[in-house]
């Protein structure tokens, strides 16, 4: 939680943190500012003190909505410093950054750098800063175990309420997609048709998804996966836009939108087969569902997340599938890890991979996905089932949005022969 930041800085021996980039689609900056139209910003927080937000002069009123102390960049005489830097913009930025640190009482020590922004200009500035302010040492961290990944790992109830609301929006969109698909007319060759009688494509379905998400107050910054047939067998295939929707094919529909303005995400997957299912596909689905249920029933407080990854691997291996436990980087069978934390990032701590550190626990406040799957691209099929869970303060596991687990969706205007 946010209140852990000072302790996390202490544990990393950081005297201050510097966050760069805009307030939207930049999780660390959003986390401390609450988002909004603050496009060119820097934030400095000295350990034990409040954060200071440096903003474009034109964005001063938007920046003030964060409730943080604001310093408009116009405070630093740009033209004068530009001359002093001999017209070198990177040097000028470093000179200004040094003054910004001084204005926050940071005159030396270790400073952790965070943010999602342009790496090139950041590096150019830091190379100069190292020279003109060697007493300040700027350091980075691998993302997966960074200070913000630890802080964000546990959510307070207001954060969970926002994720739950996104779960409601997400499943409402999934419900509309199911309703739309099952209401289509079907051609003799089992292709679904649009209102105008032309074949329905993956691109058509995706544009409806975007529309419904916008209508319900969400955005879709990373797109979604709507993959049919062979594509469904490739876990991260987003689907081929020109593919036609056909009966009896596995469709993996993985949707991970966020609040409009770049806030909290939800993550959800169902696998469908329209009209009927090949027996082999039904068997694959049943296997995944059985393993999903086994995990969901056994989720337990303060257990390392990877214990459930091991459980899933063992279950699938019993049935002869390859998994990361017995195969390095398998391309068929069970080819990914069980889930991940979820919040301002689609993927965040806790991690469930077999090599994840033991401190990736299902502790109170964690919000995480559970998403086992099996993939056989050469057999033209794949299955994944995913829900998002919250580890409640009382230790109970709560699924944050309910949705049925039907695999075969009956077509209203088509009868199985």
Residues 345-364 that bind a second copy (CB under 8 A): 355
Q: Which of 156, 157, 179, 222 binds a second copy (CB under 8 A)?
A: 222
Nearer to a second copy, 26 or 400 (CB): 26
Q: How many whole angstroms separate alpha carbon 8 and alpha carbon 145?
A: 11
Q: For residue 92, which phi and psi values (nearest 5 degrees)?
A: -60, -45
Instruction: Return the range that interacts with a second copy (CB under 8 A); candidates 6-14, 188-196, 220-228, 387-395.
Output: 220-228
Q: What is the DSSP string of 355-386?
A: TS-TT-B--TT-EEEE--EEEEGGGTEEEE-B
Nearer to a second copy, 79 or 279 (CB): 79
Q: How many whole angstroms separate alpha carbon 151 and alpha carbon 145?
A: 10
| Local structure of 175: helix, strand or coil | helix
Residues 276-335, interacting with a second copy (CB under 8 A)? 328-329, 331, 335
To the nearest whole angstrom, how small is the minimum distance from the Cβ of residue 353 to a second copy? 10
Which residues lie closer than 8 Å to 187 by C-beta, 6 or more apart? 193, 199
Q: Which of 14, 16, 151, 213 binds a second copy (CB under 8 A)?
A: 213
Task: Please tell me what DSSP assigns to residue 351.
Answer: E
Instruction: Return the range that interacts with a second copy (CB under 8 A); candidates 108-116, 301-309, 378-386, 404-412.
Output: 108-116
Residues 115-144, interacting with a second copy (CB under 8 A)? 115-127, 138-144
Nearer to a second copy, 66 or 93 (CB): 93
Q: Which of 156, 157, 179, 215 binds a second copy (CB under 8 A)?
A: 215
How many residues bind a second copy, per CB under 8 A? 73
Residues 40-79, interacting with a second copy (CB under 8 A)? 56-59, 61-62, 74, 77-79
Cβ neighbourhood burial of 179 (10 Å; 0-12, 13-18, 19+): exposed
Whether residue 236 contacts residue 384, with contact meaning beta carbons closer than 8 Å, is answered with no
What are the angstrom distances between the C-alpha of 131 and each of 76, 84, 98, 143, 192?
Answer: 20, 16, 11, 26, 64
Residues 75-104, interacting with a second copy (CB under 8 A)? 77-79, 82, 89-90, 93
Query: Which helix H or strand E contains 269, and what residues bound it?
Result: strand 268-274
To the nearest whole angstrom, how small is the minimum distance from the Cβ of residue 150 to a second copy? 13
Residues 150-209, interacting with a second copy (CB under 8 A)? 207
- How many residues in the chain? 417
Q: Annotate each residue in 2-21 with x if it binds a second copy (CB under 8 A) or - if it does not, as one string.
A: ------------------xx
Q: How far is C-alpha 289 from the chain's CA centre?
A: 23
Q: How many whole angstroms separate alpha carbon 181 and alpha carbon 192?
A: 8
Q: Which two tokens stand for residue 351?
A: 């991690």
Q: Which of 81, 260, 278, 301 binds a second copy (CB under 8 A)?
A: 260
Q: Which of 169, 177, 192, 234 binds a second copy (CB under 8 A)?
A: 234
Based on the shown chain and the rule CB under 8 A, indicate whether residue 146 belongs to the binding site for a second copy.
yes
């Amino acid at each position: 939680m946010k209140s852990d930041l000072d302790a996390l800085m202490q544990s990393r021996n950081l005297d201050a943190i510097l966050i760069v980039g805009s307030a939207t689609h930049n999780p660390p900056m959003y986390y401390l500012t609450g988002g909004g139209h603050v496009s060119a910003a820097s934030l400095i927080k000295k350990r034990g003190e409040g954060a200071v937000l440096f903003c474009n002069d034109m964005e001063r009123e938007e920046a003030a909505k964060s409730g943080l102390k604001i310093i408009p960049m116009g405070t630093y005489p740009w033209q004068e410093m530009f001359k002093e830097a001999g017209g070198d913009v990177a040097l000028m930025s470093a000179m200004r950054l040094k003054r910004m640190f001084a204005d926050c009482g940071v005159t030396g020590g270790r400073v952790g750098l965070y943010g999602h922004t342009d790496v090139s200009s950041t590096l150019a500035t830091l190379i100069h800063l190292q020279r003109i302010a060697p007493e300040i040492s700027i350091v980075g961290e691998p993302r997966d175990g960074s200070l913000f990944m630890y802080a964000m790992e546990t959510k307070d109830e207001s954060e969970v309420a926002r994720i739950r609301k996104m779960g409601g929006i997400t499943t409402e969109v999934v419900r509309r997609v199911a309703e739309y698909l099952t209401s289509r007319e079907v051609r003799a060759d089992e292709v679904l048709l649009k209102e105008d009688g032309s074949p329905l494509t993956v691109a058509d379905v995706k544009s409806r998804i975007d529309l419904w998400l916008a209508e319900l107050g969400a955005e879709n910054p990373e797109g979604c996966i709507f993959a049919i047939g062979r594509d469904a067998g490739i876990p991260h295939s987003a689907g081929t836009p020109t593919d036609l929707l056909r009966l009896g094919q596995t469709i993996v529909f993985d949707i991970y939108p966020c609040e409009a303005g770049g806030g909290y995400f939800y993550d959800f997957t169902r696998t469908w087969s329209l009209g009927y299912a090949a027996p082999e596909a039904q068997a694959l689905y049943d296997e995944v569902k059985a393993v999903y249920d086994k995990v969901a029933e056994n989720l337990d407080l303060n257990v390392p997340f990877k214990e459930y990854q091991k459980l899933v691997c063992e279950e699938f291996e019993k049935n002869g599938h390859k998994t990361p436990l017995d195969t390095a980087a398998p391309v068929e069978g069970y080819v990914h890890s069980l889930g991940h934390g979820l919040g301002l990032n689609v993927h965040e701590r806790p991690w469930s991979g077999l090599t994840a550190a033991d401190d990736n626990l299902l502790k109170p406040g964690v919000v995480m996905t559970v998403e086992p799957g099996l993939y056989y691209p050469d057999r033209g099929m794949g299955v994944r089932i995913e829900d998002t869970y919250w580890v409640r303060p009382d230790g109970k596991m709560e699924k944050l949005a309910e949705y049925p687990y039907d695999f075969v969706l009956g077509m209203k205007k088509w009868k199985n022969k």
